[in-house]
Structure 1
Amino acid sequence: MSDWTDRLPEAARAYIADRRVDEVECILSDIAGVARGKAMPAFKFGKQTSFFLPNSIFLQTITGEWADNPSGAFTEPDMILIPDYSTATAAPWTADITLQVIHDAVDQQGRPVPVSPRNVLRRVVELYNAEGWTPIVAPEMEFFLVARNIDPNMPVMPPMGRTGRRAAAKQAYSMSAVDEYGKVIDDIYDFAEAQGFEIDGILQEGGAGQVEINLAHGDPVALADQIFFFKRLIREAALRHDCFATFMAKPIEGEPGSAMHIHHSVVDSASKLNIFSDAKGGETEAFLHFIAGMQTHLPAAVALLAPYVNSYRRYVPDFAAPINLEWGRDNRTTGLRVPISGPEARRLENRLAGMDCNPYLGLAASLACGYLGLKERKMPQPECTGDAYMSETDLPYNLGDALDLLEEDAALRDVLGPEFCGVYDSVKRNEYKEFLQVISPWEREHLLLNV
């Protein structure tokens, strides 16, 4: 093995074994969570310590258009991408031996590029670390397997199962429902094993063809990297079996949406003890402060947790989406749920994020709210012990309102980084403007001849 392959994680080295690496994909996440970068022959990658990409990739919208640069100039200077070898992992669906490596973006003076989503998350984690805290997260990923959809004008349909019938809805936790597309699940497991990822569990959710994958708790940046990789892994597994995997928040009319629930705990960096529990196993004031931070700042953070116009179609009553800022113990109708656990695992589950969010930015925004709560030391609203689905909410119901709330929350913008927030606002307002220029089938059906 050459020197650079000696620096790879164990799973990547095991995947290579005694084979020659053909290609290395040098990637990083853009604002949307799309992998951008370059692929190069492995022998060339081994000779390089970095490479260049224009920083304008962070101004590209989900449609491929370019948003205005808030700083004015659009000169597209190069940034330097440095490989993080700890992220190196297989691309087991390729015909040759290919590795993927996530890169960190720095400017030409070696400073982290503040608008890079991975750097935004790292910035938030470092604010915790500066206080002597270590944030821990455990994400849950929901997604749909759907029939191939090659015409955007046609509705998305559930996939055909092994029985020859389309996947059925309202089969949450059904093992036979999962078996309907078991070959896709098998490939997901195989790809994850080859990539060195630990899946905590896979289950059938409530929608037709809707699946949930739980990941073990750990470091936020490492888990965001995993979700970034998992989205591609899952899409590739689906394509092998003539279907699509989608992480849209609401891909099928009449079906529930897909969330990325985030479990949060915070550990004292010195003692390694959960700061949400006291010596007797009870809840601490820090735990309540964390909840209060969520209630205070989540309305502004929704712009990152629900980043597209489609995201807000998940926020409708009676579709298993808790569209509220209530908190409660073992209460799935609340937006903020305290799961059953022992004192060492006491945590708060944020149930508002959609699976369409960029994992780096979703985790960063959620952690930022909790961090501000710990710093501001406010107390939360009284616990909700009933059905919170009927509660009033201060959450925005469309992307434009969400961006306005983010712009008004100076504390949250300061934690995430003002320069990042400016670029994010520009990209998202551009996307929203593009959407408003599209005439929908509903408008043609009900307005064309009636108004």
Structure 2
Amino acid sequence: MKDWLRKHPQVRTIRVAAADLNGQPRGKRIPTRFADKITADGTRFPFSVLNLDIWGEDIEDSPLVFDTGDADGVLRPTERGFMPMPWLEAPTALLPIWMFRENGKPYEGDPRHALARVVDRYKALGLTPVAAMELEFFLIDDSGKTLQVPPSPRSGKRRKAAEIMSIRALDAFDTFFTDLYDACEEMDIPADTAISESGLGQFEINLMHQEDALRAADDAWLFKLLVKGLARRHGFAASFMAKPYPEYSGNGLHTHFSVLDRDGRNIFSNGGPEGSLKLRQAIAGCLHAMPDSTLLFAPHSNSFDRLVPEAHAPNAVCWAYENRTAAIRVPSGNPAARRIEHRVAGGDVNPYLMLAAILGAGLLGIEQELTPPPPITGNAYAMDLPLIHDNWADAIEAFEKSSIMPQIFAPELIRNLVMTKRQELHYMAELSPVEQTEIYLDTV
């Protein structure tokens, strides 16, 4: 870590940041001359900081605040180390951190530790989850009373309609995307293909698969910070908000995953298009847990505006081969790369909690040898199928009362998240849709 700073003497300040339960970066600004202390000893801030609401406020009646004297945790650097922050004008380094207790044990309320806990369960069985994510986002001019697509820096014109997989739409913001890919290289984020999507000013970028699930979630978290920050440097907003425009499709965050055995073989592959028994068991686990884990795929009030019929987002608990209307899709292609695509999550999720929920559910399906229902064919929206929760309150209650979630997440994290979401549910009800959009546009 020290070598990185020596190679970048122009960096004068550091940001140390951890992801809270909403995926918001919480941390400190530190002069570079104190970097040795941070890398050796870490830093400290209250446990309650990882359990703030979307406004950054304490959770009322949380046992983490006054009941325990708002005690500190110890935050240490993750394996990622230092990286640049290309969206800032001054040369600055970001050091991702995560929280531990005074005795060195992981803090159970830290979302990155929640994912690490699931990955450790795979490792204990000699298995390695491989994950990749596709992230959708909107480029938005939010300078006026209504949201609209920014004018193209090339033509000065605004694109008034969605253009699915349009080269022209990508070229209209070529300077932004060129800077974004350069920044991804600097931050070692494996950004692959970019396409224009079906929303107004909407784009999707794929992140390459990783045999380190923690790194895959890191990539998604850092990518969201980068896209939002860099867009502001270009004079407009970028948002992963689930549904900024009621009349257009929302932002999804689709997750692909497979599992390798000790010899590096994909246990989801049987050499044919149908995949293995283990693939179907993992699908069954994901479907079984889907209603109770909806809160992690749709964590905000606005999230549920996306999960509606015929809006390019699933609303039913089902699976299929090569079918994007299903919640779980098994893509075609090379049998050696057979995998699950989980399509429920919105772009507004915390990537660590989302991936922990998906991988945890898949592992439960394998361990318990669950059997999925038959795969569907055709349009899932037109079928009589069990539905994903369609409102925030029901999703919170299902997560709180679930018998499945305690098999994946620590009790403290479940308690903290439920308290957070109940507080947000209460105060969001007092706001107009415009005020809610103002909150979500830049945060999630």
TM-score, normalized by the shorter chain, greater than 0.5: yes
Question: Residue 295 of structure 2 is aligned with which of 283, 298, 303?
Answer: 303
Aligned to 1:449: none
Aligned to 1:175: 167
1: CA distance, partners of 2:74 / 2:298: 30
| Cα deviation, residue 341, structure 1 | 2.3
RMSD value, Cα: 1.9
Matched, 1:196 2:188: yes
> Does the residue aligned with 1:39 lie in a helix, a strand or coil?
strand
1: CA distance, partners of 2:272 / 2:165: 36
Question: Residue 41 of structure 1 is aligned with which of 28, 31, 37?
Answer: 31
> Does the residue aligned with 2:408 lie in a helix, a strand or coil?
helix
Q: Structure 1 residues 296 and 70 mapped into 2: Cα distance closer, same or farther (>3 Å)?
A: farther
Deviations 1:152-177 (A, max 9, x none): xx432222223333223331100001
Q: Is the 8 A contact 1:170 1:208 kept in 2?
A: yes
2: CA distance, partners of 1:297 / 1:226: 25
1: CA distance, partners of 2:272 / 2:23: 42
Aligned to 1:52: 44
Aligned to 1:160: 151
Matched, 1:143 2:114: no
Aligned to 1:101: 95
Matched, 1:261 2:254: yes
Q: Is the 8 A contact 1:323 1:395 kept in 2?
A: yes
Q: Which residue type is aligned with residue 402 of structure 1?
A: A
Q: Is the 8 A contact 1:248 1:258 kept in 2?
A: yes
Q: Which residue type is aligned with residue 242 of structure 1?
A: G
Matched, 1:400 2:424: no
1: CA distance, partners of 2:411 / 2:295: 15
Q: Is the 8 A contact 1:70 1:422 kept in 2?
A: no
TM-score, normalised with respect to structure 2: 0.92
2: CA distance, partners of 1:69 / 1:287: 43
1: CA distance, partners of 2:162 / 2:263: 45
Deviations 1:232-257 (A, max 9, x none): 21112211221100110001120100
Question: Residue 2 of structure 2 is aligned with which of 2, 5, 14?
Answer: 5
> Does the residue aligned with 1:38 lie in a helix, a strand or coil?
strand
Q: Is the 8 A contact 2:196 2:202 kept in 1?
A: yes
Question: Could you tell me the percent identity over the aligned residues?
Answer: 33
1: CA distance, partners of 2:337 / 2:319: 18
Matched, 1:64 2:56: yes
Aligned to 1:249: 242
2: CA distance, partners of 1:63 / 1:51: 23
> Does the residue aligned with 2:253 lie in a helix, a strand or coil?
coil
Q: Is the 8 A contact 2:86 2:230 kept in 1?
A: no
1: CA distance, partners of 2:248 / 2:101: 44
Q: Is the 8 A contact 1:337 1:349 kept in 2?
A: yes
Q: Is the 8 A contact 1:406 1:413 kept in 2?
A: no
Question: Residue 76 of structure 2 is aligned with which of 67, 74, 82?
Answer: 82
Aligned to 1:23: 13
| Cα deviation, residue 70, structure 1 | 5.2
Q: Structure 1 residues 85 and 364 mapped into 2: Cα distance closer, same or farther (>3 Å)?
A: closer
| Cα deviation, residue 130, structure 1 | 1.4
Matched, 1:234 2:231: no
Deviations 1:379-436 (A, max 9, x none): 1111111111223333111111001111222222231111100000000010001112
TM-score, normalised with respect to structure 1: 0.90
1: CA distance, partners of 2:224 / 2:329: 25
> Does the residue aligned with 2:414 lie in a helix, a strand or coil?
helix
Q: Structure 1 residues 178 and 120 mapped into 2: Cα distance closer, same or farther (>3 Å)?
A: same
Aligned to 2:107: 113
Q: Which residue type is aligned with residue 42 of structure 1?
A: T
1: CA distance, partners of 2:79 / 2:293: 31
| Cα deviation, residue 71, structure 1 | 4.2
Q: Which residue type is aligned with residue 124 of structure 2?
A: A
Aligned to 1:184: 176
Q: Is the 8 A contact 1:155 1:252 kept in 2?
A: no
| Cα deviation, residue 223, structure 1 | 1.4
Q: Structure 1 residues 441 and 156 mapped into 2: Cα distance closer, same or farther (>3 Å)?
A: closer
Q: Is the 8 A contact 1:87 1:225 kept in 2?
A: no
Q: Is the 8 A contact 1:157 1:252 kept in 2?
A: no
> Does the residue aligned with 2:98 lie in a helix, a strand or coil?
strand
Question: Residue 355 of structure 2 is aligned with which of 363, 372, 377?
Answer: 363
1: CA distance, partners of 2:319 / 2:407: 26
Aligned residues: 428
Q: Which residue type is aligned with residue 31 of structure 2?
A: P
Aligned to 2:439: none
Q: Which residue type is aligned with residue 393 of structure 2?
A: G
Q: Structure 1 residues 25 and 176 mapped into 2: Cα distance closer, same or farther (>3 Å)?
A: same
Structure 1 portions without partners, runs of 5+: 443-451
Aligned to 1:447: none
Q: Is the 8 A contact 1:160 1:166 kept in 2?
A: yes
1: CA distance, partners of 2:421 / 2:191: 32
> Does the residue aligned with 2:259 lie in a helix, a strand or coil?
strand
Aligned to 1:345: 337
| Cα deviation, residue 106, structure 1 | 0.3
Q: Structure 1 residues 247 and 359 mapped into 2: Cα distance closer, same or farther (>3 Å)?
A: same
Q: Which residue type is aligned with residue 118 of structure 1?
A: R
1: CA distance, partners of 2:85 / 2:431: 37
Q: Structure 1 residues 233 and 352 mapped into 2: Cα distance closer, same or farther (>3 Å)?
A: same
Q: Is the 8 A contact 1:69 1:423 kept in 2?
A: no
1: CA distance, partners of 2:48 / 2:327: 35
1: CA distance, partners of 2:196 / 2:118: 33
Q: Structure 1 residues 371 and 149 mapped into 2: Cα distance closer, same or farther (>3 Å)?
A: farther
> Does the residue aligned with 1:27 lie in a helix, a strand or coil?
strand
